[in-house]
Amino acid sequence: MAIKIYYPVSRKLSKAISRVRECLLYNLPSEVELSCNPRRADIQFIDFIGQHYEDPSYLEIFDVPPYPIMRKYIIVNHCPPPPRLLNKDYRWLFHNALAIISYIPPSCEYQCFGNIDWDMLKDRYILTPWGVDHRKFIRMNIPRDIDLVYTGLVAETEAHNEIEKACSELNARCFHAKGDLSDFELVYILNRARYVSAMRHHIGFELIGLEGAFCGSVPLYLDYPIYRLWFNNIGVFINPRNIVEDLKRILKQDPKPIPLEKLEMFKCENISRKVWEKILEFIQ
């Protein structure tokens, strides 16, 4: 009998997180079925992005992590809480999970939150990058007439002000790709871009950098260890204390697209297969 999983879609989450979900569900193994009814499912998947229902200032945007409605659940850990929520007690949520899936190593300094005993969870921890659907994020033969594409809602943590200042001083063409773009429109914009910003001070995987790389634009990352871990050979790194000047220097250069063979490990088909091999080990 197949294992039925319930992985609800939240309309309040970013489209990038929805694409992470799509990737994890890419080519499910024959032993697994997706259910839209939690009452008929065996396991629930929960997206954790460091917020909580009790945090009213974020209630308009985020509704995660939802309280588990099923006894058996798996956490998809996207990012730790912001500083003001670091002391919330998340032990009950993480310690009772069947597994935790994340790109953040359990020993990473960013994991110092919520009184969680990561050593206790190491045998249930699946460390993986997020992936990109290479059938969707493709390279088109069109001119790259945009110097830099950037995304995101929070200007302070995602370097919007620095990007706009550098582009203004160079008279460079920059484009803010907002969340109302369809996936096709995003792919088209990324194919027009020379560079794509994946710069973020508050830790996140910044999937847009990889999606841009698959489309032929070169991703820009802030030089923090978590980004070096996954993207050391496929992006340009910027000093977080000197963003404007570094950006101005980089934007004057002529970038070369990342060879597709360097991106092979980030294809959804490879990510999903390895993740599900681990999950089935844990639950069977």
What are the distances in angstroms from CA 69 to CA 8, 39, 45, 163? 11, 9, 10, 42
CB atoms within 10 A of CB 182: 9
| Residue whose C-alpha is closest to residue 43's, from 79, 20, 68 | 68
State the pTM of this model: 0.90
For residues 3 and 155, the model is more confident at 3
Q: Are residues 8 and 64 in the same domain?
A: yes
- Give the type of residue at 180: D
Q: Cβ distance 256 to 175 under 8 Å?
A: no
| Residue 61 pLDDT greater than 70, yes or no | no
Q: Phi and psi (nearest 5°) for 277?
A: -60, -40
pLDDT of residue 58: 41
pLDDT one-digit tens code per residue, 126-137: 999 999 999 999
Q: Are residues 161 and 231 in the same domain?
A: yes
pLDDT of residue 111: 67
- Assigned token pair, 9: 């879609």
- Give the type of residue at 78: H
Q: Are residues 69 and 155 in the same domain?
A: no
Place of tokens 């910044």: 206
pLDDT confidence band for 83 (50 / 70 / 90): low
Q: What is the mean pLDDT of residues 17-21?
A: 92
CB within 8 Å of 166: residues ≥ 6 apart = 172, 243, 244, 247, 248, 251
Q: What is the mean pLDDT of residues 220-225?
A: 95
Provide the domain limits for residue 217.
146-265
pLDDT of residue 84: 67
- 253 lies in a domain? yes
Domain count, the chain: 2
| Residue 8 pLDDT greater than 90, yes or no | no
pLDDT of residue 179: 82
What are the distances in angstroms from CA 248 to CA 167, 172, 217, 255? 7, 9, 17, 13
pLDDT one-digit tens code per residue, 28-49: 999 999 999 888 899 999 888 8
- 161 lies in a domain? yes
| Residue 77 pLDDT greater than 50, yes or no | yes
| Residue 276 pLDDT greater than 70, yes or no | yes
Q: What is the mean pLDDT of residues 224-233?
A: 92
Q: Are residues 107 and 180 in the same domain?
A: no
Beta bridge partners of 126: 101
